[in-house]
Amino acid sequence: MSASALAPDTSTWQLRTGARCQLVIGRFPPFDYDASRGGGLVLHSPADAHGVQQLRVPCEGLTIPPLDSQTARLFGVPLPPGISVQIQPDRLEGVLNPSSGEVNLTFRSRFRFTLGPASRPLYQASDLIVETALTSGTSHGRRHRSQGQPLNDEGRGRLVGVATISPCQDGWLNAFLGLPDEALAVMDVQFLRP
């Protein structure tokens, strides 16, 4: 059974994202990212014969805070006001092994860079499409590498994922970020299970 076709007896949990997250894009230093206002509903199947549960987070109810002056810091300094990267999730689903706490999720989203007021931005770049495997294990690419943490007894863990970022239709943004290149996401998470 795929995560996108969970059985009718699917149950629900809550997903919360934490305050100690990071995002690294290409050659840039890491952004410290407070995603503590994020989260959503988690649909999960009963464990299969191997003890594995299918998970799916419906994206219409998934909140991922933008990277902006309130949530992101570079070298300990907040991003300047007016700079924002909105994260629009398209897919978040995968598997959990409850006995080991191992999590593996496919994550697909659109990153949208804007400059200026949210209601009337002065500049909005073309969306960057990001697809990665978020894992509680090790994720590595040519430039980036990170180690996740399986879920503990409280459902807390760390998911990491390296993604290849392809050029978008915005030449300026491609040049600024040096695309194509890699990105690394480090997400502290908690699965709240009754």
- DSSP string spanning 137-189? SEEE-SS-EEE-B---TTSEEEEEEEEEE---S-HHHHHHHTSSEEEEEEEEE
Percent of the chain with pLDDT over 70: 94
User: Which residues form the domain of 155?
Assistant: 20-34+64-189
Is this model's pTM higher than 0.85 or not?
yes
Distance CA 115, CA 81 (A): 9
Please check whether residue 184 lies inside any domain of the structure.
Answer: yes
- From the number of C-beta atoms within 10 Å of its C-beta (0-12, 13-18, 19+), residue 94 rates as buried
Indicate the SS3 state at residue 99.
coil
Please check whether residue 142 lies inside any domain of the structure.
Answer: yes
* Residue type at 58 in one-letter notation: P
Please check whether residue 112 lies inside any domain of the structure.
Answer: yes
* Residue type at 57 in one-letter notation: V
Q: In this structure, what token pair is assigned to residue 110?
A: 């659109």
What pLDDT, on a 0 to 100 scale, did the predictor assign at position 119?
Answer: 82
Number of domains in the chain: 1
Please check whether residue 154 lies inside any domain of the structure.
Answer: yes
pLDDT tens sequence across 49-70:
888 999 999 999 999 999 999 9
Per-residue pLDDT at 8 exceeds 60: no
Please check whether residue 125 lies inside any domain of the structure.
Answer: yes
Diameter of the chain measured on Cα atoms:
54
Alpha carbon 98 to its chain centroid, in Å, reads 21
Please check whether residue 9 lies inside any domain of the structure.
Answer: no
Q: Identify the CA nearest to 31 among candidates 39, 23, 20.
A: 23
pLDDT tens sequence across 95-118:
999 999 999 999 999 999 999 987
Please check whether residue 40 lies inside any domain of the structure.
Answer: no
Per-residue pLDDT at 4 exceeds 80: no
